[in-house]
Structure formats: C-alpha cells, structure tokens
C-alpha cells in the first residue's frame, strides 16, 4: 500500500524536486514527466543506469494539487 504525501506549502504548486523526492522514498532513483493522465500530472518512476528493469505493473506517480501518490493496481491496468 502506498501513502499519499502532501508537499504543498501555502497552496504553491508542487515542484519536480518534490516528485523526485517521493520517487526516492518509494525506492526509485528519479521520475520523468509523462504528461496529463485524467486529472493528474503523471510521472514515470525510473531507476538510474542502462539496464532495463521490469518490476511488475507499470505504476505511475500521480500528482494533483498539493498531493502526490503512486497509482493503484487498477489505475495501472487502465493505462496499459
């Protein structure tokens, strides 16, 4: 289970550094912006290095307003 973390400070938009920090908390090295998905800004969590990593479902980091979270299993299947 993934937790939703609130990074906002006084209603300011979330910065990419906050998304990368969240990705690192989840065990990834970085996050790449994919674009809009539904009402979220979607990011791909990635590992550094040239090796291809298959780790299961294609989860995304989803940011909306002042909150960031990992996609659910159901959402991962929706975007396949």
pLDDT digits (tens, 9 = 90+) for 22-75: 999 999 999 999 999 999 999 999 998 877 777 789 899 999 988 999 999 999
| Count: domains in the chain | 1
Does residue 3 carry a pLDDT above 70?
Answer: no
Half-sphere CA count of 44, side-chain side, radius 13 A: 12
Is 11 a residue whose pLDDT tops 60? no
pLDDT exceeds cutoff 50 at 9: no
Check residue 45 and give its pLDDT: 92
Residue 49 lies in domain: 5-78
Q: Is 20 helix (H, G, I), strand (E, B) or coil?
A: helix
CA distance 68 to 3: 9
User: What SS3 class is residue 60?
Assistant: coil
């Amino acid at each position: 289970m993934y937790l939703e973390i609130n990074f906002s400070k006084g209603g300011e938009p979330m910065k990419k550094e906050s998304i990368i920090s969240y990705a690192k908390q989840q065990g990834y090295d970085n996050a790449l912006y994919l674009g809009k998905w539904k009402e979220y800004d979607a990011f791909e969590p990635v590992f550094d290095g040239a090796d291809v990593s298959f780790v299961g479902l294609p989860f995304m980091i989803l940011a909306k307003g002042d909150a960031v979270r990992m996609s659910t299993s159901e959402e991962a299947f929706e975007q396949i």
